[in-house]
Amino acid sequence: MSRKFIVGGNFKLNGSNEFLTKLVEDLNKGNLDSNVEIVVSPPFVYLDKVRQSIRKDIAVAGQNCYLKSSGAYTGEVAAEMLKDIGIEWVILGHSERREIFKETDEEIGQKVAHALKAGLKVIACIGEKLDERVNNKTNEVVERQLKAIADSVSDWTNVVIAYEPVWAIGTGKVATPQQAQEVHKHIREWLHKNVSPNVAEKTRIMYGGSVNGGNAATLSKEPDVDGFLVGGASLKPEFVTICNARANL
């Protein structure tokens, strides 16, 4: 079957009213591949602004959400709140959430399940650190992270997996197309064996890790690379180039 290519732009802790107004204007005027699903994820305080001003064929995602609907959780945002203001997607389990904010595999699995129940689509991030890759533990790490999600999720219809080798995020280092394909293929095989052949075939697996306008087309040729989760380059004009990476293949 054909899985629709998806490109996400994770703005992280970047932007201002002025900057994001210009960024959205550029995207609105961009000649974007209509065969690609595009999702952008600005900081929380700009979510509604971006959602209301961006073209309708580009979806908007929260960068995180909590695993409770409401309560005494100062500083947190509920999946239901994102849904309430018209947000369609949320990014969960990003390596920065795991590393800096110490979110556990189990917590991320619970967050994914809660967000899905609230009606959001989820980009669920997994990936290994440099020492884990050096010590040949890549498969072990991604399997552990996948299992925590699979233990909490029964319906994978609205889940997209983002494989992000931590050693390649913001470093300028990029997994070779062969390295990316190798891990993406392993993820799909794990889903086939541990969830179902149908889920393995239908679930999209994005690659994230210093994707830019120069390497996107080559990476997109790999059979199990179904899209990109883009960090820094999503704040630049080359994001349009990345979104159109498959247009001429």
Active site residues: 94, 164
Q: What is the four-CA torsion angle of 65, 71, 73, 74, rounded to 10 degrees? A: 100
**Cα separation, 54 vs 20, whole angstroms:** 10
CB-based contacts of 103, cutoff 8 Å, min separation 6: 93, 97, 111
CA distances in angstroms from 129 to 41, 134, 189, 225, listed in the order given: 23, 9, 21, 20
Helices first, then strands: H and E counts in the chain: 11, 8
Long-range Cβ pairs for the range 15-24 (8 Å, 24+): 15/42, 15/43, 15/46, 15/235, 17/46, 17/49, 20/46, 20/49, 20/50, 21/53, 23/235, 24/50, 24/53, 24/54
**Residue 27 class from Cβ within 10 Å (0-12 exposed, 13-18 middle, 19+ buried)?**
buried
